[in-house]
Amino acid sequence: MTYSDGSVYVGEFKEGRPQGQGYCKYSNGDVYFGGWLNDAPEGSGKMTYANGKVQSGVWKNGKIGTPPADPVTQTNTTKPVEKNDVDIYAVIVGVSRYETFPHLKYADDDAFQYYAFLKSPEGGALEDDKIKILVDESAVKDNIVKAMEELFYKADENDVVMLYFSGHGINGSFLPIDSDGYKNRLTYDELKTILGNSKAKQKVCLADACFSGSLLAMKSAYSQSLNLFYTSLRESAGGTAFLLSSKQEEVSLESQGLRQGLFSHYVIKGLKGAADVNKNKIVTIKELYDYVYQNVKEYSQSAQTPTIAGNYDPNMPVGNVR
């Protein structure tokens, strides 16, 4: 929902009004993620202000308070989910407001939506210390590299690391907000080095960027579904998978009708269950690629062709369905 002042809410609705879990990107640059009711933060949530200040806690009528506990959180944590020895670490990057390149309309929103997915049970319910989101001004190269090294190097041989990037790309590189196309590029060689130095069993890179396929040229419900997801992760043979939005020579499209990057729209839709062809409640990397490939190519009338590369287990889980 887009409000009259330009603020945008993305999340759950009830009877046509925003209610439940979601995020709001305010017109002044503030960003909120958490519970929502009566067009304002309600319940557990986190506000990141445009000036960098962060407030986390329990909100009431749009204001943060300090009650003893959030009833929703109490309900969800009375029976802790057993994740055993598998952890997921994720870095999410979205850049729309470039200074030296044309602005993108939806790359920042795509990043927030993917962040919301990973925080949800379908995406693994990642804890705050295992996920980092960098959007627009914060998405400079140094911050991206630092976040990847900080999180990916924590992972051990049982874990999963994941990079999601939505923004501009040129052959051989993703472009952080401080890149002019030559300086401060995030090259594929750098990315491969960081992933290669991580001990993680499974490594996933999702990139919604122009020419991203040039990488190929470079050498119960809640607890039950989560337990199934983490069990499937343990059983997977692992590997490294690069799921990319386009071929080497193609641009990646944004859709006014979908109000998203075309690739990101179908990635998130597929992860939420549309790609679960065999209906076993687990979305694998192969199922996701097949779904995204078919729908993006059809929607773009073959102007954009998603690609996949790497040495990976086709049955690597990337999402679960409640």
**Domains, in order of start, for the chain:** 8-60+67-77 (no CATH), 88-320 (3.40.50.1460)
Sequence-distant (6+) residues with CB within 8 A of 72 are 35, 43, 44
CA atoms within 13 A on the CB side of 137: 7
Q: Determine the pLDDT at residue 184.
A: 92
Residue 23 and residue 9 in contact, taking contact as beta carbons nearer than 8 Å: yes
Average of per-residue pLDDT across 200-225: 64
Amino acid identity of residue 80, one-letter, is: P
- Both tokens of 283, joined, read 């979305």
pLDDT digits (tens, 9 = 90+) for 19-55: 888 888 898 888 888 889 999 998 888 888 888 787 8
Angle between helices 285-299 and 262-269 (to 10 degrees): 140
Alpha helix (H) ranges present in 153-211?
A: 188-197
CA-based torsion, 306, 240, 202, 152: positive or negative: negative
**Sheet containing 239-244: order of strands:** 131-135, 88-94, 160-166, 202-208, 239-244, 307-312
Angle between helices 107-119 and 262-269 (to 10 degrees): 10
Average of per-residue pLDDT across 107-117: 87
Return the percentage of the chain with pLDDT > 90, whole number: 25
The reply to whether the predicted model has a pTM over 0.85 is: no
- Both tokens of 173, joined, read 């590189």
Q: Determine the pLDDT at residue 76.
A: 42
Residue 164 and residue 116 in contact, taking contact as beta carbons nearer than 8 Å: no
pLDDT of 218 > 60? The answer is no
CA distance 275 to 319: 10
